[in-house]
Amino acid sequence: MNLLKLGYKITKLYAFNHLFLKHSLCNISSYICSMSFLEDKTPNRIPLSKLGEFGLIQHISKNFELKNDTSVFGIGDDCAVIDVGHHFQLLTTDMLIEGVHFDLTYTPLKHLGYKSVVVNLSDIYAMNGLPKQITVSIALSNRFPLEAVEELYEGIRLACVAYNVDLVGGDTTSSTSGLCLSITAVGEVSKDKIVYRNGAKEYDLIVVSGDLGSAYLGLQLLNREKQVFESNPQMQPDLQNKDYVLQRQLRPEARKDIIDLFESKGIVPNSMIDISDGLSSELLHLCSNSKVGCAIYEEKLPIDFMAISIAEEFNISAATCALNGGEDYELLFTISQAHYDAIKDDPDLTIIGHITDVSHGSELVTKDENHQPLTAQGWNALS
Amino acid sequence: MNLLKLGYKITKLYAFNHLFLKHSLCNISSYICSMSFLEDKTPNRIPLSKLGEFGLIQHISKNFELKNDTSVFGIGDDCAVIDVGHHFQLLTTDMLIEGVHFDLTYTPLKHLGYKSVVVNLSDIYAMNGLPKQITVSIALSNRFPLEAVEELYEGIRLACVAYNVDLVGGDTTSSTSGLCLSITAVGEVSKDKIVYRNGAKEYDLIVVSGDLGSAYLGLQLLNREKQVFESNPQMQPDLQNKDYVLQRQLRPEARKDIIDLFESKGIVPNSMIDISDGLSSELLHLCSNSKVGCAIYEEKLPIDFMAISIAEEFNISAATCALNGGEDYELLFTISQAHYDAIKDDPDLTIIGHITDVSHGSELVTKDENHQPLTAQGWNALS
């Protein structure tokens, strides 16, 4: 902590110099504050966990307003929206930190590269757009040789090929410890086809693509086998016949096919979001942004048979995994009932409920017909 | 290292399952390789330091090609260039890691926020563009309270106001140790006014804005005072009358005014780059991308009087600081001799040499008329 005190002392001199005062970037009190944050252990500092990720974003973004005509939409949806003339451009970014978002014990670097791209592209699709370019920044420590970086970028390249996006830039630098990845994706969408989170209307059908909960169960499985191995390195991991959930965790795909389906059927959803943090959490975002309520039905939740059997093995509810698991990267959207016929027979789409008036609240109807308020228990990066 | 062996064992099962084989994303050998990288201490693995940052970028980017029509220019300039219709869009990103790029002992978080934005905007100006939007991603450990994050974002906000850019998105997450920042900036430039690194022509004048070496000397000063303090916490830092170099290090500005000057004088440089890693390094990029040589003159290098006096105090050559110091965020550009009259009296611009045929090489003419080859000794993130 001594080093920090130096900052404090330098500060005093800076203040005498009025070095930063003239630009009002920093005055003595804020300078001292900014340094003393790091050494101050008094309890009146507010820990980030108290706000959580979404609370922090809300807290910060209230100080920022959009001034440029081309900034159509800023913080608060899957992507930022920029007006570039005859279409909108979509911009999204994600940061992945070793030890927080991934565990290199069981995550191959090639898969990590692939997944890191996919999670960003998923945000572009969630606005009904098509991704076109990405930038990739990495910071890595000297424990990574060139061959490791090649593996990571091979996964990135395969995702670029699979989704027809171009790697156009980035940054490569060193870190003091683990691997840190930051990817930004750029996409395009017609101005008349962009879908926000805030357009859900009463009586809309609530639809999800694919199935839910498997990625979470894949993670539980990998963590369990890691723990078994830690306590007894002679044990062989028990991962046979668990392909699907492992693949959902280690190498998810983004639902470009659903966007193509919308195009071919002439459907523009009223609202959409991708499921990265869990169905409940994302549906609550949709409802609060659209100022509506919702009712979804537990018995309608699409869950793969393997996920159900693994949930039983773990003695947890498969429905809970589907509601709160996260990392499925499926699309959650609402459409007018007029589109019911166009989607009802699609095996990749499941109607799980409908949008209600805001006064109704957001509720889950359980299999035994209990009506429960929906709560967000999914991933929160700062909890 | 035991954990890593688990990866190895899981791998074998994966291979039996042919889980990833069908998508050719991962076969057994590559999976095993990717895991064993981290435990393999054999000397035949290539350390990243052997390639350095630019070598690594070159090595990776050769596997990526641009396929989308809208991807005009990818890796290899200050920004990626995207064709959005009636103008080009510029995209650039930078990652800043605590302990590598900044030291929170003497860097106030507000200044860090401001500088993090400015270094990205500088890349947009270096293509003769105007920045419009930024996204900011941060990962931070639980040692940072809300008040620290507020300070950081206050610096970001002040930069947004100063340069008229909008914060439109980002990501906030936790890290296991230090602070990690990743900023992406988006800008615009007319298709007929974009300036690349590769357009320098023989006989062009080589011009730099502002002065060089001060930011590096500011850093030396802060590091020295930190060391003094570490060995004797009773010492008061000796930073009086050092305002300018400290400001250059802690709160640099991007040269929007130079882009405005070009516009008002009807000048479009033939080539341009911003000086983040040091004049020598950047000029060599310009020359190799443009396939030309250059001659610059030591006596012409613009160096602030305070920087000269501090260089003397440190017993290092001020010219070396100017050539290799880095972080000045000035613009280095080449213009046709026809523009000489338009810039010759501008106190903010200095002609430091001229472009030659490639056969001439890149040389520095010292004050005593020695002709030396120019070498890049500036910042290398992976050296």
In chain B, the DSSP E strands lie at 71-73, 80-83, 88-97, 130-140, 166-174, 180-189, 205-209, 271-275, 293-297, 330-335, 349-356, 362-365, 371-373
Contact flag A5-B233 (C-beta cutoff 8 Å): yes
pLDDT value at position A382?
58
DSSP at B236: P
* Average pLDDT of the segment spanning A244-262: 95
ipTM confidence score: 0.87
Q: What is the pLDDT of residue B310?
A: 94
Q: What's the angle, vertex CA B321, arms to CA B317 and CA B322, rounded to 5? A: 115
On chain A, the residues whose CB falls within 8 A of the CB of B175 are 97, 100, 180
Six-digit token pair at B46? 């290539």
Is the per-residue pLDDT at A35 higher than 50? no
pLDDT at B15 (0 to 100): 34
Nearest-by-Cβ selection for A169 from B91, B111, B176:
B91
Residue owning tokens 């090595």:
B59
Dist CA A183 CA A185 (whole Å): 7
pLDDT in tens, A154-211: 999 999 999 999 999 999 999 988 899 999 999 999 999 999 999 999 999 999 999 9
Nearest-CB residue to B99 (from A91, A176, A237): A176
Phi, psi (degrees; rounded to nearest 5) at A87: -145, 170
3 state SS of B88: strand
Is any Cβ of chain A less than 8 angstroms from the Cβ of B226? yes
Q: Which residues in chain B touch residue A153, judged by CB atoms under 8 angstroms apart?
A: 60, 63
- Range A66-71 average pLDDT: 94
Neighbours of A143 (CB within 10 A): 16
Please tell me the predicted confidence (pLDDT) of residue B110.
Answer: 94
Report pLDDT digits (tens) over A92-123. Answer: 999 999 999 999 988 999 999 999 999 999 99
Where do the domains of chain B lie, and which CATH numbers do they carry?
3-38 (no CATH), 70-189 (3.30.1330.10), 197-373 (3.90.650.10)
User: What is the average pLDDT value for chain A, to the nearest integer?
Assistant: 87
User: Could you give the residue ranges of the DSSP H alpha helices within B126-187?
Assistant: 146-163
Residue A89: its pLDDT value, please?
97
CB neighbour list of residue A60: distance below 8 Å, 6 or more residues apart: B149, B150, B153, B172
pLDDT over 50 at B14, yes or no: no
B28 at interface of A, judged by CB pairs closer than 8 A = no
Q: What is the mean pLDDT of residues A147-154?
A: 93
Confidence band, pLDDT 50/70/90 cuts, at residue B333? very high
The pLDDT assigned to A232 comes to 81
Classify B363 as helix, strand or coil.
strand
* Predicted local confidence at residue A2, as pLDDT: 31
User: d(Cα A354, Cα B354) in Å, to the nearest integer?
Assistant: 69
Q: Which residue has the higher pLDDT, A78 or A25?
A: A78
The total of other beta-carbon atoms located within 10 Å of residue A361's CB is: 14
Say if the Cβ atoms of B382 and A7 lie within 8 Å: no
Q: Please report the pLDDT score of residue A240 as a whole number.
A: 78
Q: Do B47 and A13 touch (CB under 8 A)?
A: no
Judge whether residue A30 has pLDDT over 90. no
Tell me the pLDDT tens digit for each residue of B65-82. Answer: 999 999 999 998 999 999
| CB contact burial B47-80 (16+ within 10 A = b; e otherwise) | ebeebbbbebbebbbeebebebebbbbbbbbbbb
Tell me, what DSSP letter sits at residue B358? G
Model pLDDT for residues B173-205, shown as the tens digit of each residue? 999 888 999 999 999 999 999 999 999 999 999
Q: Scanning the structure block, which residue is given the tokens 């120019």? A: B374
- Alpha-carbon separation of residue B283 from A135, B75, B220, B350 (angstroms): 25, 18, 23, 15
pLDDT class for B230, splitting at 50, 70, 90? confident
List pLDDT tens digits, range B74-124. Answer: 998 999 999 999 999 999 999 999 999 999 988 999 999 999 999 999 999
Put simply, the answer to whether A176 touches B98 (Cβ < 8 Å) is yes
Query: Across residues B226-239, what is the average pLDDT?
Result: 78
Instruction: Report pLDDT digits (tens) over A294-351.
Output: 999 999 999 999 999 999 999 999 999 999 999 999 999 999 999 999 999 999 999 9
**What is the tens place of the pLDDT at every residue in A10-25?**
443 333 333 333 333 3
- pLDDT value of position A13: 36
Interface contact A160-B64, CB threshold 8 A:
yes
Which among B71, B145, B169 has the least Cβ separation from residue A75? B169
Question: Distance, in angstroms, between B178 CA and closest chain A CA?
Answer: 9
> Minimum mean pLDDT among A374-378, B7-11, B368-372: which range?
B7-11
B194-221 per-residue burial string, b: 16 or more CB within 10 A, e: under 16: bbbbbbbeeebbbbbbbbbbbbbbbbbb
Question: Is 80 exceeded by the pLDDT of residue A81?
Answer: yes
Q: Would you say residue B57 has pLDDT above 90?
A: no
Q: What is the pLDDT of residue A380?
A: 61
Render pLDDT for B238-265 as a digit per residue (tens, 0 to 9).
Answer: 777 888 999 999 999 999 999 999 999 9
B124-157 pLDDT, tens per residue?
A: 999 999 999 999 999 998 888 899 999 999 999 9
Is residue A146's pLDDT more than 60? yes
User: How far is A136 from A170, CA to CA, in rounded Å?
Assistant: 4
- The answer to whether B239 contacts A104, with C-beta atoms less than 8 Å apart, is no
Please say whether the dihedral angle defined by the alpha carbons of residues B93, A99, B8 and B15, taken in this order, is positive or negative.
negative
Task: Provide the mean pLDDT of chain B.
Answer: 87
Residue A67 has pLDDT above 50, yes or no: yes
Question: Model confidence over B341-382: pLDDT tens digits?
Answer: 999 999 999 999 999 999 999 999 999 999 999 988 766 655
Using a CB-CB cut-off of 8 Å, the residues of chain B touching A146 are 45-48, 50-51, 56, 59
